[in-house]
Structure formats: C-alpha cells, structure tokens
Structure 1
Amino acid sequence: MTDTSVRRVDFGYFIRPAAETGTGAPRVEPCLGYLVDHPDGLLLVDTGMGAGPEVDAHYRPHRVPMAAALAAAGAAVGDVRHVVNCHLHFDHSGGNPELAGRPIYTQRAELDLARAGEHYTLPWLIDSPGAVYEELDGEAEILPGVVIVPTPGHTAGHQSLVVRRGDGTVIVAGQSHDHAVGFTGDVLARRAGRDGAGPPLPVPPAWMDRLLDFDPARVVFAHDNAVWTP
C-alpha cells in the first residue's frame, strides 16, 4: 500500500441537454480529474474538455484551462508524469495534447474505438504530436499500489483506477457510473442478490465484484462532486 494522496481537479462544467438527462430538463455537470501523488511521479486521471464547434454548441462547456486547474490543485503541467484516461471522449481527454511525452494508459479496445469512430471523440485529441500510449488488455498494476481495472459500459474500453492507501483504498471510477447514486444502486443490487431477494432485481455490472474486492473507503467520479463511501 502507498500513502499517496488523491486530489480533485476542477476542469469546469458542461450543460447536458434535456434529451440526455432522462428528466426532461437540462443538467449542469462538473468535469473532474484527479491527481494521484505517487512516489514514482504525479499521475493525472482525465485531462479536461477538448474544444470543437459541434461539442461546444451541444454541451455549452465552461472550461478551466489545464494550467489553471492544476494550479488550483497545487500542481503544474510540468509536474505530471503519468496520464490515465477513464475513456477517450472529448470531456476526458481534452488536455492530452498538452502532456506530450507522458505515458497515457488506456485499454487497447478504447484506443481502437477512438481511432476508428468518426463521431466517437475529437480526433485531434487522440494522435496529437508526442502522444505516447501504454496500451492495456485488461487489469494492470501500472505503479506500485495503483491498479487499472476495466469497467466497460459507458464505453467498451472504459477503465477505473484503484489507489491502495494505508488509510483505505480510493477508486477513481470515472464515468463507470454517471453519479454516486448509480454506484450505490449497483452495490445494493449486488447485496440484495446475495441476501436472496427474489426477482425482479437490477443486475449490476459483472466488474462490480472486482471493484468491491478492493474494499474501497472512497469512490469518486468524473461528473459528480459526491463521493461514495461504504
């Protein structure tokens, strides 16, 4: 276990249209990254929102530039040594071009989708000059005590980051769930099934068992300021 800290980075917010919220009304959502202070170098999970005419018109983002967002969290762009994107949509990989030369840990399936899909993301964010990918095929311990776990669903190559700490494990779940309430629902669905509750029951993702095997003390998300605790 490490005694690394996990700090939130505020990259701004965007306005999700009513057609995407399921509530009949638009919703303002944060765009959050996370800094992991590790003895082997500072790691950044997600890098903010990329810019493009179509996404700007659709989501009306308010961006906090990379340098300002990191400064508010007590770091600088030059301090970052490792990058993890939970997935490669525009609102998670927008600052990747500013981090040329740093290894970007991603699932091979996710990178293939980003390169092949015409409307998957903003293509200039993916193979920008100096981009260095560490392509993963499943779970991997990328630094001592720091484990990437595939959590497909939002995208086929979505992944979460597990940080084992002396005072309890932190999971950066990205967009495995849109919010902490959704994570709670899947945890309780799993519990109800194990308690023998009869059908019908919601079916949590298969990888929930693996995440909960790490006995997380906190789970944090990309688009929710709320923190899940057991």
Structure 2
Amino acid sequence: MIVRDAAVRRLDLGYFVRPAVEVGGPDPRIEPAYGYLVRRPEGLLLFDTGIGTVDPGTEAHYRPSRRPLATALDAAGVELDDITLVVNCHLHFDHCGGNPALAGRPIVVQRTELAVARGPGHTIPELVDFPGARYEELDGEAEIWPGVRIIPTPGHTAGHQSLVLRQSDGTVILAGQARDFASQYGSDELALRASRDGVPEPLPSVPGWLPRLVDLDPARVLFAHDGAVWEPRF
C-alpha cells in the first residue's frame, strides 16, 4: 500500500496455528504474522518484528512457521541496519520476535506493557531484555514523529498500542492486535455509529479506545493477524 507522504509496506513474517481451544470452535485457525515498514522523512519505522524463538511447549502449542525478518526486509529493498525506529503493538512473542536483531535501535512501548512483559507468563524474557535493548517508554498518547502518533488500545494486553499515520490522502492506522480481524473492527465501528445516532439500547459494547480512533476519521485500518483492510463504507 502506497500513500503520498510515506510508503506503508506490509511484511509477511510467517504464520502460526491457533488451537481450537483458543479459537472457540471445532477447528484450529492459521493466523498470519504481519509487520509494517513505514517510510517517513525521519527514517524507516518498523511496526512489529515477527515471531520469536520460544520454549518447546509454546512451539508445540502454536506450531509457528517463521519468515526471518531480514528476509522480509530484503524483499522490500531494506536491510536491518536501515531501520531507524521500532514500535511494537505489544510484546507477545509473535510481535516482538525480531527485536533482538535490531539491538541498539529505540523500541517504542507503553510503560505498562514493558512492566507486564518483565513479569512471569506474559512473553519470552529473552525477547524483552536482550543485549542492546533500548526502550522508549510511553504513558499514553504521544507524537513520536511529525504526523506519527501512538494511541493506547488496551484489551488484548493492558499496554497494547496502535500507530496512527496522518497522510495527505487520509489517516492510516496500524492497529496491531487491537482486534484480530478487520471485520471485528468494522462491527465495533458500526455499533459506535448506531449509539451516536441515538439507536436505543441494547447495543453491542465497544472498546473504550474506539471513539478516539473513529474520531481520527481513518481512511484505512490494518491489522497484525488479518490481511483484510478496513475502509469506510463511503
């Protein structure tokens, strides 16, 4: 996807198998792992870095197939050393797995997320505190580059965050795993619209962060585990 002020390129970083017990149905589900390369005048920003090495139990549980970050970047004409800034939507192993390959680069993360990730049971410790790890911790919203804003979107994790890119042809939101699917975001957006239109209750509940994203009037919303792109209906 190309926009006038920047190029936003989706990176295929592999996939994993989500077991049926987590899907809530009779069958497992194959989920892609996407990162996004963002070209800006300030440099190259990488949003999520792929599936990291995990312990044998997690490996057997999710059966991941990894595409190395360097390979994905090479397909985009970029090398690891070209990356200026890393943003992780959160620090689960399937989103921060390539971070150690980018040691020394600043990694933008919510303070809440980093604190939880350093505790037990959240992620793989070696993917968080590796040699050369350099974090820029945020407490809420922040403009990290001109026209590039971080917005907290908690739910999947307490410190989940999304990236907002203000472009001349419309706002692009990299929503990570704020929602698993574009269709879920679309349902939420429609429920919020119904509420604002005064449709009587009962109505579906929506995430607390949704009004903030909707009020940015996004032209496109992209996700970490879904290749579909949400766009407004008109």
- Please show how residues 176-195 of structure 1 align to structure 2 within 5 Å: 176-195=178-197
1:83 corresponds to which of 57, 71, 86: 86
More off after superposition, 65-74 vs 172-181: 65-74
- In structure 2, how many angstroms separate the alpha carbons of the residues matched to 1:142 and 1:55? 34
Mapping 1:85-164, distance limit 5 Å: 85-116=88-119, 118-164=120-166
Listed one character per residue, the Cα deviations across residues 106-134 of structure 1 (whole Å, up to 9, x for unaligned) are 00000000001x21000000010000000
- Name the CA distance, whole Å, in 1 between partners of 2:25 and 2:41: 44
User: In 2, Cα distance between the equivalents of 1:213 and 1:204?
Assistant: 14
Give me the whole-angstrom Cα distance separating, in 1, the residues matched to 2:51 and 2:215: 32
Counterpart residue type for residue 113 of structure 1: V
Q: Map 1:155-174; keep pairs closer than 5 Å.
A: 155-174=157-176
After superposition, the CA RMSD in angstroms is 1.2
Q: What's the secondary structure of 1:37's corresponding residue?
A: strand
Detail structure 1 runs of 4+ shifted over 2 Å in the superposition.
Answer: none
Contact 1:2 1:164 in 2 (8 A): no
**What letter is aligned with 2:108?**
Y
- Residue 73 of structure 1: how far off its partner (Å): 2.5
- Taking the aligned partners of 2:46 and 2:30, their CA distance within structure 1 comes to 23
Residue 198 of structure 1 deviates from its aligned partner by: 1.9
Q: Which amino acid aligns with 2:38?
A: V
Q: Residue type matched to 1:86 in 2?
A: C
2:45 corresponds to 1:43: yes
Q: How many residue pairs were aligned?
A: 229
> Percent same amino acid among aligned pairs?
63
Q: Is the deviation greater in 204-213 or in 153-162?
A: 204-213
Of the three residues 45, 56, 61, the one matched with 2:59 is: 56
Query: Partners of 2:66 and 2:165 in 1: how far apart?
Result: 27
Q: Tell me the equivalent position of 2:204.
A: 202
Match for residue 14 of structure 1? 16
Q: How much has 1:20 moved relative to structure 2?
A: 0.7
Shift of 1:2: 7.5
Q: Aligned pair 1:31/2:9, yes or no?
A: no
Q: TM-score, normalised by structure 1?
A: 0.97
Which residue matches 2:218?
Answer: 216
Judge conservation of contact 1:173–1:220 (CA < 8 Å) in 2.
Answer: yes
CA contact (8 A) 1:12 1:30 kept: yes
Distance (Å, rounded) in 2 between the aligned partners of 1:114 and 1:202? 31
TM-score under structure 2 normalisation? 0.96
Unaligned runs of 5+ in 2: none
Q: C-alpha distance in 1, partners of 2:193/2:133? A: 42
SS in 2 for 1:109: helix
